[in-house]
Amino acid sequence: MNCHEFWDDLPQKGGDISTAQAAHLAECAACAAQWTPQRALAAGLRSMGEEWRKVEAPPRVEAGLTAAFRAQAGLAARRRLRRAWWTPVFGWAAATAGTIALATVLIHGYQPAPVKPRTVASPRHTVQSPVEMAVLDADSDDDTSALGEGFVRLPNAPRIEPNEDYNVVRVEVPGSAMIDAGISLGEDRAAETVLADVALGPDGTPRAVRLVPDGGTN
Amino acid sequence: MPHYSSQSDDELLFRLRNGDEQAFATLYRRRQGAIYRFAVHMSGSAEVAEDITQEVFLALLREDCGFDPERGTLSGYLFGIARKLVLRGLERGRTDVPLESDSDDAAPRQLAVNDDPLAGLTQREAIEALRRAVQALPRRYREVVVLCDLEEVDYADAAVALGCPIGTVRSRMHRARALLLEKLNQDRKPRVAVDAWKPMRYAI
């Protein structure tokens, strides 16, 4: 260890020197001569530091800073309040709309297969949405006033009352079945398969049927 | 309820940024003393030190205070702000400490050879002599002595506060102690001379 290394490796906060440093002191008179007063100085500075550690800022500094902190925290809270008065409303509205939309999609996407009427075949679509029901309701006629326009009550089936729950199922049925139900369909189409809306009562039995006018696009 | 006293400076800073007054109070009480003492030593004025302490912690309240935990500790950062404020005060002449030249006294003078530069002094006298010696150091040496010796800030934090490499902190410390020893030995000689004159003055 040389002189430069000796002084560079001294512990910052006092304490004992290493064996190598002690060995250097034993063989270097210059460093040994400097080391003794340096050690005394370091001890004196430690004492001074301990003495001074009692000195602190007056309490009024903390009081002033606390007031400043409260003022700033209050301003920040008010800023948040001003910025946020409409934000939760918008957020909740968006979240609610999103939830409804998701629920609608899920209901449609994972709806159980409808009860298959004995008179129809190959069910393709179930109409259950409130919107479609409202459209059907708006097109009601006399016999099936609770249903949409063009519905014909099936023979021996009870009518659907206005306050009664029902489902409408779009199905493919033979033309002959529609003729049997009393729907006017040319004899030449008796052998065809046509699209029909079948109204199912709360018990799942078919109550009424109508021919899909344009052949159905669903 | 968090135990504030056991939380790190960074955790307290995070809490105070979220409006936690207790976190701010804890952090202030933990760090104010060292900042205030540093400012007193560097400015020589309790009044200036009070203002600097307040400014340092007000700076901490600002969202854009610039503290980066990646670059150093909060303690080093606070000392750095205090130092800048001290320097600004020195530039404006608002200080009780004479503006000494910061020149490095190019030719190193002969180092003191007394075994104990504080020998023969009472504890209070020794501390007062040291205080005067520290106060008389050029600013660049005084700040390293105050930080590293009196406040026991480690060299790494001191380097952050002073904006210089650790090696520079070490070399300034070495030089500062040499200057302190020299100053203390100079002070001891007049003291002896004065003591020698006392009986004559009393005799008159």
Please indicate whether, in this complex, the C-beta atoms of B149 and A46 are within 8 angstroms of each other.
Answer: yes
Asked if the Cβ–Cβ distance from B24 to A72 is below 8 Å, we say: no
pLDDT band at B145 (very low <50, low <70, confident <90, very high): very high
Beta-carbon separation of B116 and A7 below 8 A: no
* List of residues 6+ apart from A113 with CB closer than 8 A: A123, A126
pTM of the shown model: 0.58
A116-136 pLDDT tens trace: 444 444 344 444 444 444 344
Q: Chain A partners of B148 at a C-beta cutoff of 8 Å?
A: 12
CA distance A27 to chain B (A): 18
Q: What's the pLDDT band for A203 if we cut at 50, 70, 90?
A: confident
**Which segment of A107-116, B115-124, B164-173 scores lowest on mean pLDDT?**
A107-116
Question: Which DSSP letter does residue A160 get?
Answer: P
Alpha-carbon gap, residue A97 to A22, rounded angstroms? 80
Judged on CB neighbours under 10 Å (0-12, 13-18, 19+), B49 is buried
Q: In angstroms, how far is CA B163 from the centroid of its own chain?
A: 15
Q: B21-33 in b/e burial notation, b at 16+ Cβ within 10 A?
A: eebbbbbbebbbb
List the single residue in A51, A55, A70 with the smallest CB-CB distance to B127: A51
Task: Considering only residues B119 and B204, tell me which one the structure prediction assigns the higher pLDDT.
Answer: B119
pLDDT over 90 (residue B24): yes
Q: Indicate if B123-203 has the same CATH topology as B4-92.
A: no
User: Which chain A residues are within 8 Å of B57, Cβ to Cβ?
Assistant: 65
Burial of A209 (0-12, 13-18, 19+ CB in 10 A): buried
Give me the pLDDT at residue B107, please: 35
A52 at interface of B, judged by CB pairs closer than 8 A: yes
How far apart CA A58 and CA A140 sit, in angstroms, is 87
CA B95 – CA A53 distance, rounded (Å): 22
In chain B, residues 93-152 whose CB comes closer than 8 Å to chain A: 111-119, 123, 126-127, 130-131, 134, 145, 148-152
| Position A107 in a domain | no
- Whether residue A159 is contained in a domain is answered as yes
Check whether B78 has a pLDDT greater than 90: yes
Mutate to test the interface with A, among B61, B121, B153 (most CBs of A within 10 A): B61
- Indicate the number of domains in chain A: 2
Q: Which two tokens stand for residue B175?
A: 């030089």
- Would an 8 Å CB–CB cutoff place B194 in contact with chain A? no
Q: What is the pLDDT of residue B49?
A: 93
Going B25 to B31 to B35 to B36, the CA torsion angle's sign is positive
Residue B85 pLDDT: 93
What is the tens place of the pLDDT at every residue in A150-164?
Answer: 788 887 788 777 777
Query: Which of A34, A49, A64 is the last residue in one of the domains?
Result: A49
Nearest Cα neighbor of A211 from A167, A188, A179, A164 is A179
| Beta partners for residue A172, in sequence order | A121, A195
- CA dist list (Å): A217 to A48, A69, A142, A149, A171: 94, 67, 27, 18, 12
Residue type, B29: R
Tell whether A69 is within 8 A of chain B (Cβ). yes
For residue A14, the enclosing domain spans 3-49
Substitution target in B12, B20, B24, B166 with the highest count of A β-carbons within 10 Å is: B24
Judged by DSSP in three states, B126 sits in helix
Report d(CA B196, CA B135) in Å as an integer. 27
Give the pLDDT score at A13: 65
Longest dimension (CA), chain A: 129
Backbone torsion region of residue B147, taken as left when φ is above 0, otherwise alpha when ψ lies between -120 and 50, otherwise beta: alpha
User: Cβ–Cβ of A55/B36 closer than 8 Å?
Assistant: yes
Binary contact (B148, A12; C-beta < 8 A):
yes
Q: Is B59 on the interface with A (CB under 8 A)?
A: no
| Residue A35: closest C-alpha in chain B | B115
- Following CA atoms A63, A67, A69, A75 in sequence, which dihedral angle do they give, to the nearest 10 degrees? 180
Interface of B with A in 4-43 (CB under 8 A): 16, 19, 21, 24-25, 28-29, 32-33, 35-37, 40
Residue B159 — pLDDT band, cuts 50, 70, 90?
Answer: very high
Strand order in the sheet with A152-153: A121-127, A167-174, A193-200, A206-211, A152-153
Q: What is the mean pLDDT of residues A61-85?
A: 71
Residue B204 burial (CB count, 10 A): 5
- CA dihedral angle for residue A181, residue A183, residue A188, residue A191, rounded to 10 degrees: -40
**Which residues are CB-neighbours of B1 under 8 A, at least 6 positions away?**
none
CATH number assigned to the domain with residue range B4-92, chosen from the 4 options 3.40.50.1820, 1.10.1740.10, 3.40.50.2000, 3.30.450.20: 1.10.1740.10
pLDDT of residue B95: 56
Calculate mean pLDDT across residues B81-103: 70
Please say whether the beta carbons of A161 and A207 come within 8 A: no
Confidence at residue B120, expressed as pLDDT on a 0 to 100 scale? 62
More confident residue, A97 or A140: A97
Element at A197 (helix H, strand E) = strand A193-200
Residue A74 within a domain: no
Average pLDDT over residues A85-114: 53
Distance in Å, alpha carbon of A70 to nearest chain B alpha carbon: 8
Tell me if A62 and B16 make a contact (CB, 8 A cut-off). Answer: no
Q: Do B37 and A45 touch (CB under 8 A)?
A: no
pLDDT digits (tens, 9 = 90+) for A1-25: 788 877 777 766 666 778 888 888 8
Q: Please list the alpha-helical segments (H only) found in chain B.
A: 9-17, 21-43, 46-61, 74-92, 123-136, 139-144, 155-162, 166-203
pLDDT value of residue A3: 83
| E strands in A56-166 | 121-127, 152-153
Q: Residue B49 and residue A42: Cβ atoms within 8 Å?
A: no
Q: Cα distance from B101 to chain A (closest Cα, Å)?
A: 23
Within a domain: residue A26? yes
Q: Topology of B123-203 in CATH?
A: Arc Repressor Mutant, subunit A (1.10.10)
Q: Read off the tokens for A130.
A: 């409130």
pLDDT in tens, A144-196: 556 667 788 887 788 777 777 777 777 777 888 888 778 887 778 888 888 88
Q: Which residue does chain B place closest to A8, by CA atoms? A: B170
Contact A158, A143 (CB under 8 A): no
Is 60 exceeded by the pLDDT of residue B135? yes
Please determine, for residue B188, whether its predicted confidence score (pLDDT) is greater than 60. Answer: yes
Query: Do the domain assignments include residue A153?
Result: yes
Domain residue ranges in chain B: 4-92, 123-203
Of B1 and A199, the one with more pLDDT:
A199
Q: Are A115 and A106 in contact (CB under 8 A)?
A: no
Do B150 and A45 count as a contact with CB atoms less than 8 A apart? yes
